[in-house]
Chain A
Amino acid sequence: MASGLSDQYLPGTVTKSVKILVVGSFGVGKTTLIGAVSEISPLRTEETLTQVSEGVDDLTGLAEKRTTTVAMDFGRITLNESLALYLFGTPGQRRFWDLWEGLAEGAAGVLVLVDTRPGRLEGSFEVFDQLEIGTQMPFVVAVNHFPDTVRHSVEELRTALDLLPETPIVDCDARDRASVLKVLTTLVEYAVDLADGPAPAPAPAPAPAPNILAPQEVVS
């Protein structure tokens, strides 16, 4: 195992993998962040998405499929002799939701990277909409600081982004390994807290529930 690809293999003792998603708008620093902590140089690949109806676990219902291809970056951290962590970076825009929702399944959590410079914050809104409404993933918000980033208080940001009071908001320098590790730690601490917390609402049924809440006509 002298050089080249051999160095890039996982130790043979690894038996489990966990993933974390890094989502954010274009140019917000996703690839930089992954590169700062990855033990392999970040790789890029594309995933073809075939959207089929939820809860279908055989491939009989092919009639309604639709495919999209999206590039994603990823990196890897071997956490102990049996566990590897993968970080996947994907754009947050609405048209990529199919991709990152698929990626998010079974993930430890989602790190949402935001750029708070004027005109850049808006790009994050739809990401939060989707995370809060479309998934039950634990997520944290990391504010990537560029030279011209104006500091805002956490509460200002929480209001601006309309986030729940418990959602962690942290500062980060995507180029700095220690800073990125701190954000990842915050995310997983939060995920553990949520797992410990009061019993969460049961997972949503795979198929839409019978329409017991049909709007009732109110006649006055």
Chain B
Amino acid sequence: MTSPDDPGRTYRDTALRPYVLTKGRARPSRNTISIDTLLIATDPAPSLPISAGRQERALLAMCRGLLSLVEAAARLELPVSVVRVLASDLVDSGHLTARAGSPQSPQLSRDLLQEVLNGLRAL
């Protein structure tokens, strides 16, 4: 997208921390990408390796603008579980940037709930 301060902001996004933290582990924790995690192609985008599959390319192209994992899956007509894995790999490789979806904690913070409420009332 066009907002000039996006890259700096998204690099500090807490959604990326788990990926940083999992470096060196045998398997990244895919649980950190939830259905409403927001995805956007990293700008500037590193080019995909020649070995990248059609679905990965399609996902990356879909994410030229900001949208959630579940929206990307629906528009690509792929199961969420498949897109979750693709997205996770593309985040690990730096092609996609993830922004926090719903918190993993079972209960939302009061502040966030209040923000949702204010937003709904203003519609």
Partner-B contacts on A (CB < 8 A): 5-6, 8-19, 40, 43-48, 50, 57-59, 69, 74, 76-77, 79-80, 83-86, 88, 103, 105-108, 136, 181, 184-185, 188-189, 191-192, 195-196, 203
Contact = CB atoms under 8 A, between A and B. Distances in A.
A106 B104 contact: yes
A77 B118 CA distance: 13
Name the interface size band of chain B.
35 or more
Contacts of B109: 195
A181 B120 contact: yes
A16 B99 contact: yes
B67 A10 contact: yes
Contacts of A59: 27
B68 A17 contact: yes
Interface string B25-50: 00101010011111010000000000
Contacts, number: 160
Given A18-B108, A43-B71, A12 B6 contact: yes
17 contacts: A5-B62, A11-B66, A12-B3, A15-B99, A17-B101, A18-B102, A48-B80, A48-B81, A58-B27, A79-B115, A83-B119, A88-B70, A105-B102, A106-B106, A108-B108, A136-B106, A188-B116
B16 interface: no
Nearest to B14: A15
A15 B100 contact: yes
A180 B46 CA distance: 43
Given A45-B74, A77-B120, 18 more contacts: A5-B62, A10-B38, A12-B65, A13-B3, A15-B38, A17-B36, A18-B116, A43-B75, A44-B74, A45-B80, A59-B27, A74-B70, A84-B68, A106-B103, A107-B102, A107-B108, A188-B116, A195-B109
A121 to B, nearest CB: 28
B120 A185 contact: yes
A8 B81 CA distance: 22
Contacts of A14: 38, 66, 99
Given A16-B99, A103-B35, A79 B120 contact: yes
A128 to B, nearest CB: 19
Contacts of A105: 102, 104, 106
Contacts of B65: 5-6, 8-10, 12
B68 A86 contact: yes
Nearest to A13: B3
Contacts of A18: 36, 102, 108, 112, 116
B58 interface: no
A10 B66 contact: yes
B2 interface: yes
A107 B35 CA distance: 11
Contacts of A108: 108, 112-113, 116
A109 to B, nearest CB: 9
Given A57-B29, A57-B31, A191-B108, A12 B113 contact: no
Contacts of A88: 35, 70
Most chain A C-beta atoms within 10 Å of own C-beta, residue among B74, B75, B99: B74
